[in-house]
Chain A
């Protein structure tokens, strides 16, 4: 038994997404966690590690463990924004490979849409006292600053930003749970209200409720599970700044570090990747991420996504659930990227909706971005 112990995603689930005033952040996570464990064919008491991120408690891992009736012996409350869950998966895989844990539960829940707390004023302390007094709405304003710099530096256009939203909507049209399923054109995006120049309303992610859970198991347990394992092949994470004024270069994200780290650990290259799940908080997030990951040269991501290349049937399938732009975005979206990647690699859609299934998907790159382009976490997943 000298083979290296590996980690794999063995169960995934969403709770209810959209508008869920009848649920709480805790019930969201309990519903998703039970469903993900049921899919895996594992019991709650198989879980020995809990990974949670959220701003709804001073210690969300403790609050959720109590609510679920869990007594984990390994806790990780890493919160680096929307990319937290890719980080959690990397941390869980490391703990599994080190022999510290056997089954990890990663959970997230939000009632952001029902609460309408996203823009509630709070005092500006620490570094925020040098940004909040100027009235810039966040996070959108920070992404707009990056977008304007990017358009200026490379001559990329608002139309090219809009193509990200258009391609993503094409995927959402195939997802019965997507918030927006109507057809969308570049003109529609440009005609939507300007929020912060150059970002229009339809360049921005949704504000929804929702929850999700991912169950990760050590290879010793794969024989017991009910699903085809989705193996964690590589992981990397990074941070470049917290507040946008401290981002060293507004056109280069931490993906430039976390991407190569994840690909290198997996021993694969860009050309090997069959499906991309890239955090799309805003259209600009996707273009900057693709460039920083190295899928094209700086300034060329507009051409990379152009002509529907990332839409269904395109050469570079991306955000195949409809993304944060059209499917759902409950505050921190990263867990939904993992859920969709796992389903694509298992071939779940082949039977239910072949148009949504990326044919022959064996390798996925999942990339979370958190804060105001502040953190990144990249995971390479493979069909087991």
Chain B
């Protein structure tokens, strides 16, 4: 289902070894995601790969009650947009959350997991227990 290309292969290779890789631009120092050959911020630097800490904040989320294909049987499940602490936003799945538990602004941390039997390892997130 996922078709890595020359530009995204380092990301998926990282995921396979448990590492969430994003990019940083050596010219303007801003983080970049998804991977690009030319920085979308300054259009000058060529982004280099870095390892993300795997911590972030929920920017928004939705609970999908209907889904299609291999995901149909998983509904309801929570998909979120997470702002990584490095300063980029990514779509992800929030795993092991009880209904109504995910909130905008909640802190989350990386949890690599598969979502479908034959699917790839994916960078999902779980809620960080609040003290």
Question: With A196-B63, A244-B91, A245-B90 in contact, do A133 and B2 touch (Cβ < 8 Å)?
Answer: yes
Whether B62 pairs with A196 at a CB distance below 8 angstroms is yes
Instruction: Determine if B49 is an interface residue (Cβ-Cβ < 8 Å).
Output: no
A136-B124 Cα distance, complex, nearest whole Å: 13
A125-B12 Cα distance, complex, nearest whole Å: 13
* 12 more CB-based (< 8 A) A-B contacts, given A131-B91, A243-B91: A119-B69, A124-B2, A126-B5, A130-B91, A134-B92, A134-B93, A137-B66, A145-B60, A195-B66, A196-B66, A245-B89, A250-B81
Whether B60 pairs with A135 at a CB distance below 8 angstroms is no
Instruction: Determine if B52 is an interface residue (Cβ-Cβ < 8 Å).
Output: no
Partner of A144, one of B62, B71, B90, B91: B62
Chain A residues closer than 8 Å to B79, beta-carbon distance: 134-136, 141, 145
Contact with A along B106-131 (1 / 0, CB 8 A): 00000000010001101010000000
Whether B104 pairs with A152 at a CB distance below 8 angstroms is yes
Chain A residues closer than 8 Å to B66, beta-carbon distance: 137, 193, 195-196
Chain B residues closer than 8 Å to A131, beta-carbon distance: 91
Instruction: Determine if B3 is an interface residue (Cβ-Cβ < 8 Å).
Output: yes
Q: How far is the CB of A299 from chain B (nearest CB, A)?
A: 15
Chain B residues closer than 8 Å to A245, beta-carbon distance: 81, 89-91
Chain B residues closer than 8 Å to A2, beta-carbon distance: none
Instruction: Determine if A129 is an interface residue (Cβ-Cβ < 8 Å).
Output: yes
A61-B90 Cα distance, complex, nearest whole Å: 35
A196-B78 Cα distance, complex, nearest whole Å: 9
> Most chain-B CB neighbours within 10 Å: which of A124, A136, A194, A243?
A136
Whether B1 pairs with A148 at a CB distance below 8 angstroms is no
Partner of A123, one of B1, B63, B122: B1
A137-B64 Cα distance, complex, nearest whole Å: 8
Chain B: interface residue count, which band?
35 or more
Whether B60 pairs with A124 at a CB distance below 8 angstroms is no
Whether B115 pairs with A135 at a CB distance below 8 angstroms is yes
Whether A134 pairs with B65 at a CB distance below 8 angstroms is no
Instruction: Determine if A345 is an interface residue (Cβ-Cβ < 8 Å).
Output: no
Q: Across chains A and B, which 3 residue pairs bring their CB atoms closest together, nearest first?
A: A135-B71, A144-B62, A149-B60
A102-B51 Cα distance, complex, nearest whole Å: 57
Instruction: Determine if B34 is an interface residue (Cβ-Cβ < 8 Å).
Output: yes
Instruction: Determine if A197 is an interface residue (Cβ-Cβ < 8 Å).
Output: yes
Instruction: Determine if A352 is an interface residue (Cβ-Cβ < 8 Å).
Output: no
Contact with B along A246-288 (1 / 0, CB 8 A): 1000100000000000000000000000000000000000000
List residues 66-120 of chain A with CB under 8 A from any CB of chain B: 119
Contact with B along A173-207 (1 / 0, CB 8 A): 00000000000000000000111111000000000
Q: How far is the CB of B39 from chain A (nearest CB, A)?
A: 14
Whether A197 pairs with B81 at a CB distance below 8 angstroms is no
Contact with A along B47-79 (1 / 0, CB 8 A): 000000000000111111111111100100101
